[in-house]
């Protein structure tokens, strides 16, 4: 699969700021530590945005979360509305860098992953 252009650009930016000591963010309060190391941008739209109470967030998923299906399962494990809305069988569409994705579509650093309900335009 051809590499998505957005991913390379953002990864390049991360490389620029990488320097000795830059990885150590343990002195930062948790929300800032999260932002400093985040590598994935998640976007929630329509009903999912309302259910999750946020339009977007940046996350650093654990090792092994390298596909759309794994990301969905990881987010569902947060419980509450996350478990309800992302339960297996619920119709959720997921796009990676603005392209509709399949469960086995790979995700990586710098990607923008959007989760939304089936579309209802027109």
Partner 1 sequence: MPVRVQTEDFDVARELAALRGGNRAVGAVAAFIGTVRDVNENAAVAAMSLEHYPGMTEKALAAIVDDAKARWDIIDALVIHRVGTLAPADQIVLVGVTGTHRGEAFAACEFIIDYLKTRAPFWKKEGTAAGARWVDARASDDEAAARWDGTRDPAR
Binding status of residue 121 toward partner 1 by CB under 8 A: yes
Name which of 28 and 100 has its Cβ closer to partner 1. Answer: 100
Name which of 25 and 45 has its Cβ closer to partner 1. Answer: 45
Contacts of 74 (CB under 8 A, 6+ apart): 61, 62, 65
Task: With CA atoms as reference, report the closest residue to 49 among 87, 92, 89.
Answer: 92
Residue from 7, 43, 59, 76 binding partner 1 (CB under 8 A) = 43
Task: With CA atoms as reference, report the closest residue to 47 among 96, 93, 107, 113.
Answer: 93
Tell me which residues touch partner 1 (CB under 8 A).
Answer: 43, 45-47, 91, 95, 98-100, 114, 116-122
């Amino acid at each position: 699969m051809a590499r998505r252009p957005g991913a390379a650009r953002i990864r390049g930016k991360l490389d620029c700021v990488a320097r000795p000591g830059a990885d150590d963010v343990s002195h930062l309060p948790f929300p800032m530590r999260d932002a400093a190391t985040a590598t994935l941008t998640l976007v929630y739209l329509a009903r999912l945005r309302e259910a999750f109470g946020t339009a977007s967030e940046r996350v650093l998923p654990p090792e092994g979360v390298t596909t759309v299906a794994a990301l969905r399962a990881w987010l569902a494990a947060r419980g509450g509305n996350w478990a309800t809305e992302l339960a297996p069988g619920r119709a959720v569409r997921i796009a990676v860098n603005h392209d509709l994705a399949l469960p086995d579509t790979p995700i990586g650093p710098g990607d923008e992953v959007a989760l939304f309900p089936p579309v209802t335009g027109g």
